[in-house]
Structure 1
Amino acid sequence: MAKALERSAARLAAVQALYQMEVSGKGIAETLAEFETFWIGGEIEGDTYNTAETTFFRDILNGVLADQGPLDRQIDKTLVQTWPLARVDSVLRAILRAGAYELKKRKDVPARVVIKEYADVAGAFFEREEVGMINAVLDALAHQFRAGEFEAKACHSKEA
């Protein structure tokens, strides 16, 4: 259970770091140093931030940056055509990118876990409509990136 909480904290920190990098223009090295020194497991303005699995945090951040172009194109295809990723709020964009990265590259984490975790992250910042959008887009991406996970479940439930 402790590992799950540390991974949840890593996801939240990764989304915050991606957002910060986008709005401030800070680079990866500076952002990693700042988050690992001050944010993760620290206290800022009276708020205590949970300890996060640092290697997982770094993997998400580095992975999103390394694969951002293809991830953005895949997210764009999944969003409604009249609402491209560039028009989505920057925090929502960070959530979608981190979730898409995990779905595409972190096969060790079940797709349903990824979707739920990032919907929970969205819930920390937004209302129900935005959380529903995150859930729907990540679910569609999960079916694209990991169709096998869903086909296996469908076949298994038909046998029951």
Structure 2
Amino acid sequence: MTLSGNQKRKMKSAARLYAVQALFQMEYSHQTVESVMAEFEEHRFGASYDEGDMQEGDAALFALLMENAVNYQAAIDQMTDRALVAKWPLGRIDPTLRALFRAAGAEITQSETPPKVVITEFVDIARAFHPDGKEASFVNAVLDHMAREARPEAF
């Protein structure tokens, strides 16, 4: 079965969301990346999607985001800190947004995905977690700063 472009985009969007959730879970429960990835692959990627309650994700993108977010966490966190306003360190940020910045930072720094696509995708995820809109604007500004630092040639 061949997937349409729209189906592929939805699967990539789901993988990004799952990466944010998995990184949050790692921080909250102190689980290893391997155990969280295995759990997500079994329960998210291996689940039945007939009922339409959950979007199948792109397992390869999920694995890439997870591995790179963990392997490059220190560099991504430092880049995030530089993008945050003074006196507002990463440790004070909502843990969901911290996970989002790590997943987005992994994709910005370790993939060929255009930064504007990454920013749009992760701003949409921020809106899903924080529908009031404040956080979406904040996420947009931080990710724009991170992308311009990491890949200035893309702007």
> What TM-score comes out, normalization by structure 1 length?
0.87
Give the AA of the match of 1:149.
A
Query: 2:87 is aligned with what amino acid?
Result: T
Letter matched to residue 120 of structure 2: K
1:113 aligns with 2:112: no
The residue that corresponds to 2:129 in the other structure is 125
- Identify the residue that residue 153 of structure 1 maps to in structure 2: none
Q: 8 Å contact 2:44–2:57 — kept in the other structure?
A: no
Give 1:55's aligned residue: 60
**Shift of the alpha carbon at 1:147?**
1.1
Deviations 1:28-75, CA, capped at 9 Å, x for gaps? 1211111011123637xx982210110110000010000001110110
Residue identity in the other structure for 2:89: P
Three-state SS of the structure 2 residue aligned to 1:48 is coil
The answer for unaligned runs of 5 or more in structure 2 is 1-5
Question: Runs ≥4 in structure 1, deviation > 2 angstroms?
Answer: 39-43
Residue 88 of structure 2: aligned partner: 83
8 Å Cα contact 1:41/1:50 also seen in 2: no
Identity of aligned residues (%): 37
Contact 2:77 2:102 in 1 (8 A): yes
Alpha-carbon distance in 1 for matches of 2:45, 2:129: 18
**Match of 2:98?**
93
Alignment size in residue pairs: 147
Instruction: Give the Cα–Cα distance (whole angstroms) in 1 for the partners of residues 53 and 35 of structure 2.
Output: 21
Distance 1:106 1:79 in 2: 23
Q: Tell whether the 8 Å contact from 2:44 to 2:56 is kept in structure 1 after alignment.
A: no
Partner of 2:36: 31
CA contact (8 A) 2:22 2:40 kept: yes
CA RMSD of aligned residues (A): 1.5
CA distance in 2, matches of 1:89, 1:98: 14
CA distance in 1: counterparts of 2:20 and 2:34, whole angstroms: 16
Q: Does the CA contact (< 8 Å) of 2:11 and 2:56 recur in 1?
A: yes
1:32 and 1:99 map into 2 onto residues whose CA distance is 17
Q: Which amino acid aligns with 2:9?
A: A
Q: Which residue of 2 aligns with 1:8?
A: 13
Provide the secondary structure at the position in 1 that maps to 2:88.
coil
Task: Give a deviation string over 1:99-128, Cα, whole Å, max 9, x none.
Answer: 111111112x11100000000000110121
